[in-house]
Chain A
């Protein structure tokens, strides 16, 4: 017995719920990384909405209806939450615009995109502007001096002031290049180890986890994709953890609460459009993302991996769908036809 969605919620109602659910994570980001977060998120939403309106106008669609479903706002919001808080304004606008134009409308708009638009925007920025995209605000410093206020952040984001005064490596990055330290030594020496996973980031991840659990409770999506991703990531991390030697890729808890893990698990891999269609398919889809996140973090050259892992699995989703169709009533075998 299941009616998945609250009746009459409507697609725009769903989008509103998603926006609300990002609030705990957003607040954690603000506390940890300062006001730049708010500016970047606002810019990303603005860029996404402008691009959406432009694309709808180009395509002769109703701008009111197209913006009314709220999907562009969600795309911009999720991209903004994933970007470095002091990213120059132009790049944020560019990423958000490309997310909508190249991630969504070139495929025919809402519901047609094979890739997660926010992750398309993120990946384009990451490969095009690797330096800016890996310049993160240092959380430890912020916690001691109160961090980059609105004025400082604005100066960096809009006026091109150097962000050097505020920046530092992320725990994921620093842990990876810790040069011979054991995990325990890094935890003690780096100042980035945090209480249990990584200074500041652990709270951000817990914030997104809380918002995600709220959405799960409201039954906006099923548990399959997030649980698949988190379980696969934790299992991989546990298998290679080796107790934290100098070559250990990090503990399961460290991976679960670092970088974009929780934002990805509850707000990105749950995107129904670019994910798999059935519960079983979603479980596989999430597991694939989890495994790829671990592989890229442990062995790849990028500091975080959620965007690439999601995009790769997006490409695999149609094939997952073809092999996970439910058995139709009155048929003896599951529907394995590859045709559509």
Chain B
């Protein structure tokens, strides 16, 4: 059998952005191991803002792969020690995390492969994925086990290897060097979803990775979709649109259409967790940027501080326009270099000015509409900007703010250098806060009404009781009277 190319028609995105890929510096560089830092910070925050609860004590010795924190839900991704050492601190504050001091030995727990995973029960496999700490490595960080548990009627499994954001080459290198391991992971995902069709989507400029995948797919019924370059082709909703011509309904996830998307690094981690029995303690990270002297694709232990990574590769502070954890458009700006690499961070950038969205003094929006021309969600970013600044929540909802995928294309093209995505995030927070305030008010009203009803009922009950007491008194009096009369008649 030969790897089948995607045999359906590809659907062009109605709007996308043609960005300079800027990948040439790292795309040919083989993955290397980053040094294990002396001190690691393992974030406790889960994808939805909840925190995992530590299950180790300060001062306790741990080995690599040992679980050090767990979420409240059974399918939450566990947090592991990514090297051996001693727990130094459980930090709260803006970045709740467990601080681990490495002992330099890097001793690991024994791997626990599931050799006959095909025969394992589905709950056991899902439990393994959760226990191995698997979460979506593509950006959202949604727990892999929970995602798979909710997916029981899947027709199409999409493996997202688009990697459309400039500068990032981590997924491309992973595919190039470890296509077989990725395919092994895909088999597990396909098994768990029962999907009839599996499509691996990759942008057309990654020829080496494409060749490697083709080779690895020789004996598998999976399809390879080579999609045209265009940002944000790697966004889940846009990828579904490209491959199927259908749009994910607003407010729903692709699973509602029988489609499941997994990032390519996530399925690779699946294979490692199940077949090799390894917990997720490292990921491939592209460390690059115009201000970085020696860029590369590094195998980085989770919890490695950004500063350690950059320091090891040399930063030209003169050229440095900004540090990003993630890509140049969707990455988080880093001001504190102690910030650690997490599960979702595919890049650490020491970026030059031309690699980032335009910064500097913001000018007024002149409604030129450049943003609307590139918005993949079909929104009117300029209107959203105006209403977000005016904090008009009603208007924001009417303009479908909730459908913004925060890809950053609008801010990238804005000639007035307006940080639009910041506005939208604030707007979404305000809408959410308002909704929860309303829910609280609704709840308070409900409780008040319930109390009023209860008081009313109690009042009724006590009145009824009084009446019945009175009527008993009356009856007793009447009986007494009657008895008296009888006695009088009798005497």
Contacts and interface: CB of A to CB of B under 8 A. Distances in A.
Interface stretch (B194-202, B247-255, B422-430): B247-255
Given A326-B380, A329-B378, A340-B383, A5 B370 contact: yes
Interface in B290-338: none
B18 A1 contact: yes
Nearest to B390: A340
B147 interface: no
Nearest to A334: B378
B378 A327 contact: yes
A110 interface: yes
B155 interface: no
| Secondary structure of the A contact surface, majority rule | loop
Interface stretch (B358-366, B451-459, B465-473): B358-366
A12 B368 CA distance: 13
Nearest to B365: A111
A3 B17 contact: yes
Given A5-B415, A10-B358, A339-B395, A272 B366 contact: yes
| Secondary structure of the B contact surface, majority rule | loop
Nearest to A340: B395
A14 B415 contact: yes
B370 A4 contact: yes
A277 B382 contact: yes
- Band of interface residues on B: 35 or more
Nearest to B367: A272
Given A4-B369, A9-B415, A11-B416, A328 B378 contact: yes
B227 to A, nearest CB: 13
Interface in A65-116: 65, 69, 71, 109-112
Interface stretch (B82-90, B111-119, B175-183, B396-404): B396-404
B415 A11 contact: yes
Contacts of B413: 3-5, 7
Given A3-B18, A3-B413, A329 B376 contact: yes
Interface residues of A, number: 40
Given A325-B380, A330-B250, A331-B400, A272 B374 contact: no
B377 interface: yes
Contacts of A71: 366
B220 to A, nearest CB: 32
B372 interface: yes
A3 to B, nearest CB: 5
A340 B374 CA distance: 22
B370 A277 contact: no
Given A14-B415, A275-B367, A278-B380, 6 more contacts: A3-B17, A5-B370, A8-B354, A10-B417, A11-B363, A329-B376
15 contacts: A3-B370, A3-B373, A4-B370, A5-B413, A9-B415, A278-B372, A325-B380, A326-B380, A328-B379, A330-B248, A330-B377, A339-B395, A340-B394, A340-B398, A340-B399
Interface of A: 1-5, 7-14, 65, 69, 71, 109-112, 221-222, 272-273, 275, 277-279, 321, 325-331, 335, 337, 339-340
Interface of B: 15-19, 230, 237, 241, 247-252, 354, 358, 361, 363-370, 372-374, 376-380, 382-383, 387, 392, 394-395, 398-400, 403, 413, 415-417
